[in-house]
Structure 1
Amino acid sequence: MIRILLSTCVALLVGCSSTKKDSDSVLFAGEIVNPTSDQVILLKGGSKIDSAKLDDKNRFKFKLSSIENGLYHFNIAPEHQYVYLEKGDSLMVRLNTIYFDESLVFSGSNEETNNFLLDLFLATEIEDSDMYSEYYKLEPKEFLAKINALKQEKVNKLNELNTENLISNQAIKLLTGSIDYTYNRYKEIYPFRHKRRTAEENFHDLPKDFYKYRSSINYDDHTLTYLRPYYDFMKAHLGNLSYMTCMDNCGDLHENNSKQLHYKKHKLHLIDSLVVEKELRDNLFRNVAFDYLLKKNDAPENTEIFIKEFKKVSKNNMHLEEIENLYQGIVNLQPTNMIPNLSVLNFENEPKTLTEIASDKKVLFYFWSGTNRKQYLNIFKRIDILKEKKPDHELIGINIKTDYDQWKNILTTLGVDPSLQYHSNDFKELTEKLVLYPINKAIITDNAVIVDGFSNIYKN
């Protein structure tokens, strides 16, 4: 039934479902059921290629005169997914945002490549869970056997498609890379997860050929730079190398300093020495910076050292402004500083600043998004508990990444007091200025002066 509907949609939107490619132009079109945004954005890497408005039937259409063959992303906020495009393509996608990835189906030219890439993505989500619950506790040889069997299943399916000559050589390289780097990432993670799952005191001895694939790693593959399995592998691989190298060579040299600062500096220099491709380098450097700045609330003097080291090894990083803004946000959230004077909207759509809201009282600010029902229901339950534990504090909720009307409907439906709730339209500014990680973060103030800029509602 889905294929019949898709064929009908392709006939209406594309004109035909033929995979014949007579020109360099590309038509990428689709239908969005239960849209969460009124437009679809097409990107290649970090660059926006084009945007398309949904029509009155929730359909969109991109007509591109010429493109570079390769991997793209399409966004229907707040979700996104891959799409592989080649010159001459006429490709259709249909999805329901309530079951975004699971409902997504491609039809038309290059449908085989895109549906296979999506199947790999969905399989990985399931296998990631199985890895942690079952496979990481296996002995190394048993683990390798399981990994190799899972990988071979995907290789066999790809070989079947390839025998029908439906996939280009460039697409075969992309899909092969997706398979290889997915299962090699599990091997990079294995020693750490195995030690944790088995509670062993030391890292387990590994077979000599456990990492034999490392001799063929390509640190300079532009075509794979934005492929998630490739990028995730690089993060795990470089983390493994930096940790093990330090463990073998550094001894107690780091004991007088921050361990996190020490390890992150190792990782920065490892990226600098190994990774060639510019965008991959920039993205990996950004990952290290965000991991350090957001997840580890280190001493201010250590954070300053890290930023200087980051700028030294990652010159002209395309994310530098974003990272500097994040760093400045951390500096501004230190105790005794005034809370950033950002503007938010109340239930009557009136602007209020955080300084106004927090003046003349003790406040605990918390944050929630309407895109994750389970998350915000748990947060509101926690807030009910904190009302008893912190009767001298006003508990103020700030909503992010949610349509204004949807936010109001959620509050009304749940019976949440709207006088203690505010909405932000500028997620980027709020994230940078208030360093919103994790989503369970809380900021505690007294008369608008910061007491704790990095608290957590589940630890109060």
Structure 2
Amino acid sequence: MKFYFSYLVILIAFLGCKDDKHKTIIDYAYIGGEIINPSANYVVLSKEEKVIDTIKLDGRNRFLHKVKHLKEGIYTFKHGVEYQMILLEPRDSVLFRLNTLDFDESLVFSGRGDKKNNYLINEFLENEREEKYVIKLCQLNPNAYQTHIDSLKDRKVKLYERFIDKHEPSELFKKIAQANIDYSHYSNKEVYPFIHYGRDKASILKSLPDDFYDYRKHINYNDEFLSSYHNYNTFLRHSLSNLSLKVHDAHNTGKPFNRNSLCYNLDKLKLVDSLVTNTAIKDDLLYHFTMNYLSRSKNEKNNNIILKSYLSKTNSTKGKEKMTGYTYAINSLKEGSEIPDIELIDLNNEVVKLSSLTPSTTVVTFWSNVYYKHFKESHFKLKKLRLKYPEVTFISINIDGLGVNKSKKILEKYNFESSNAYLFKNPKEATDVLAVYPLTKTIILDKNNKIENCHTNIFSVYFEKQLLGLLNK
């Protein structure tokens, strides 16, 4: 492996030097690498949501590709449904090696352009770890909380400055890295009222220091340059949710705040429509907030109201089509209705109907080989639940269309239950009909094959209470 990567680096350097003699303008970069445990035989390279190239893996799951007419900036490489960002500038020759079973954590860059990309991926992983820590900090009073998150930012700034001094990267890198630090910090401030344990969110907002949100004066909610950046988009979602609190409180006086209420979510859509003018950013936010509401709602009338609001504001034809279909599916899965007759394949390669698998109270969960962390955690959880509730049938369904043999090998590797493991015969149709979003979605069925709850989650603190309520009926 080391020899292969060294050979690639030398080869790319040679090709780069050769081209330099004939060109005064360098407008290309190389990208290559190896995918361990691939879930497809290709990698898709995109920029600003437009596919640049689909690159096939060779017989050893490796590839090398020259990006011609390079437009410097952040590119997305996607494998299966997992994706990650890479910064490409002229003359770069970036190689990476990753394992799909641990996608982000396994990703390592080498070659020319590796240092800036390793910096960015390490920062991404650090932000993921920081999110859990910030949840705990949010229980502090506002002044103590601000002191702690300011220190988190100061640490990042020092690491950034050391990197700049040592490697002297481009202005483009500095702009991106600084924006990541800033917007991560701003997000930490925006989430505070929501995660703080107090139920009166309006009072929490009023208790904040006067300068707590001063940075908002300088925020561009329509920044096209940052529109494909994770930290910026996360900030926008948190900030608009927070700004909607004040709007909502103005006509919700005296009532306890409910983030899942129709009124509050309609306020969010209205605020996005009025504050965001960039079409791509607006459509993304409208889609996110609407889908987030629908995935938790059991009220058909309210679902149709929020869908109507979404359709009147978005410009995305694809989004309209998806959201309309999702709303129809959600409304069809209401409590007391029968589960659709979806066809499954068991690990003996036999076709069975989902409705035939419910002789007792049944819990239906879903998993994907691509989201490996969720796969492992959900199956470990199911293992415990099966021991605790032997009278309940726990079913796990793979949504990928992996095939029986691969699914069987994955389950056997961790000694997970296979007798109640299935695959969708037609994954696309089945995930649409059962509205499988998010992947943590769990459906509880009673012994008569009727839906008891199609919006639960085995990781929820309320899940076992819901299950016991049905068993004790």
Residue 397 of structure 1 pairs with residue 396 of structure 2:
yes
Q: Which is worse superposed, 363-372 or 120-129?
A: 363-372
**In 2, are the aligned partners of 1:400 and 1:425 still within 8 Å (CA)?**
no
Residue 430 of structure 1 pairs with residue 463 of structure 2:
no
Corresponding residue SS for 1:251 = coil
- State how 1:95-244 maps to structure 2 within 5 Å: 95-133=98-136, 135-163=137-165, 166-196=168-198, 202-203=204-205, 205-244=207-246
Residue 90 of structure 1 pairs with residue 89 of structure 2:
no
> In 1, distance between residues paired with 2:120 and 2:302?
42
Query: How far has the Cα of 1:402 moved from its partner?
Result: 6.9
- Aligned alpha-carbon RMSD (Å): 3.5
What is residue 297 of structure 2 aligned with on the other side?
Answer: 297
**In 2, are the aligned partners of 1:397 and 1:421 still within 8 Å (CA)?**
yes
> In 2, distance between residues paired with 1:209 and 1:201?
16
**In 1, are the aligned partners of 2:336 and 2:450 still within 8 Å (CA)?**
yes
Distance 1:23 1:426, change over 3 A: farther
What is residue 471 of structure 2 aligned with on the other side?
Answer: none
Code of the aligned partner of 1:179: I
**In 2, are the aligned partners of 1:28 and 1:61 still within 8 Å (CA)?**
yes
**In 2, are the aligned partners of 1:91 and 1:108 still within 8 Å (CA)?**
yes
TM-score by length of 2: 0.83
Distance 1:107 1:280, change over 3 A: same
Residue 69 of structure 1 pairs with residue 72 of structure 2:
yes
Corresponding residue SS for 1:223 = coil
Structure 2 regions of 5+ residues with no counterpart? 468-473
> In 1, distance between residues paired with 2:59 and 2:199?
52
Structure 1 regions of 5+ residues with no counterpart? none
Residue 270 of structure 1 pairs with residue 271 of structure 2:
yes
> In 1, distance between residues paired with 2:317 and 2:272?
13
> In 1, distance between residues paired with 2:138 and 2:16?
44
Distance 1:238 1:424, change over 3 A: same
**In 2, are the aligned partners of 1:363 and 1:396 still within 8 Å (CA)?**
no
Corresponding residue SS for 1:43 = strand
What is residue 381 of structure 1 aligned with on the other side?
Answer: 384
**In 1, are the aligned partners of 2:12 and 2:30 still within 8 Å (CA)?**
no
Code of the aligned partner of 1:178: N
Q: Which is worse superposed, 175-184 or 27-36?
A: 27-36
**In 2, are the aligned partners of 1:23 and 1:87 still within 8 Å (CA)?**
yes
What is residue 253 of structure 2 aligned with on the other side?
Answer: 251
> In 2, distance between residues paired with 1:453 and 1:146?
39
**In 2, are the aligned partners of 1:39 and 1:52 still within 8 Å (CA)?**
yes
TM-score by length of 1: 0.85
> In 1, distance between residues paired with 2:106 and 2:169?
23
Q: Which is worse superposed, 275-284 or 314-323?
A: 314-323
> In 1, distance between residues paired with 2:236 and 2:387?
42
Query: How far has the Cα of 1:407 moved from its partner?
Result: 1.5
Distance 1:147 1:439, change over 3 A: closer
What is residue 364 of structure 2 aligned with on the other side?
Answer: 366
Distance 1:304 1:55, change over 3 A: same
Corresponding residue SS for 2:138 = helix
Distance 1:23 1:429, change over 3 A: farther
> In 2, distance between residues paired with 1:100 and 1:39?
15
What is residue 281 of structure 2 aligned with on the other side?
Answer: 280
Percent identical: 29
Cα displacement string for residues 376-434 of structure 1 (whole angstroms, at most 9, x for unaligned residues): 1211331343332x4xxx5543223473323212455637353x432126554333221
**In 1, are the aligned partners of 2:335 and 2:450 still within 8 Å (CA)?**
yes
> In 2, distance between residues paired with 1:424 and 1:40?
25
**In 2, are the aligned partners of 1:112 and 1:166 still within 8 Å (CA)?**
no
Code of the aligned partner of 1:385: K
Cα displacement string for residues 350-383 of structure 1 (whole angstroms, at most 9, x for unaligned residues): 444435x358x55625124253223212113313
Distance 1:107 1:179, change over 3 A: same
**In 1, are the aligned partners of 2:379 and 2:416 still within 8 Å (CA)?**
no
Corresponding residue SS for 2:131 = helix
> In 1, distance between residues paired with 2:82 and 2:135?
25
> In 1, distance between residues paired with 2:416 and 2:231?
42
> In 1, distance between residues paired with 2:427 and 2:227?
26
Code of the aligned partner of 1:100: F
Cα displacement string for residues 77-116 of structure 1 (whole angstroms, at most 9, x for unaligned residues): 3532111123443221123344432332223343333122
> In 2, distance between residues paired with 1:55 and 1:455?
42
Corresponding residue SS for 1:27 = strand
**In 1, are the aligned partners of 2:287 and 2:310 still within 8 Å (CA)?**
no
> In 1, distance between residues paired with 2:132 and 2:259?
32
Corresponding residue SS for 2:398 = strand
What is residue 81 of structure 1 aligned with on the other side?
Answer: 84
- State how 1:439-454 maps to structure 2 within 5 Å: 439=440, 441-444=442-445, 450=451, 452-454=453-455
Q: Which is worse superposed, 68-77 or 448-457?
A: 448-457
Distance 1:412 1:157, change over 3 A: closer
- State how 1:49-60 maps to structure 2 within 5 Å: 49-60=52-63
Q: How many residues align?
A: 449
Code of the aligned partner of 2:285: L
**In 2, are the aligned partners of 1:13 and 1:29 still within 8 Å (CA)?**
no
Distance 1:417 1:184, change over 3 A: closer
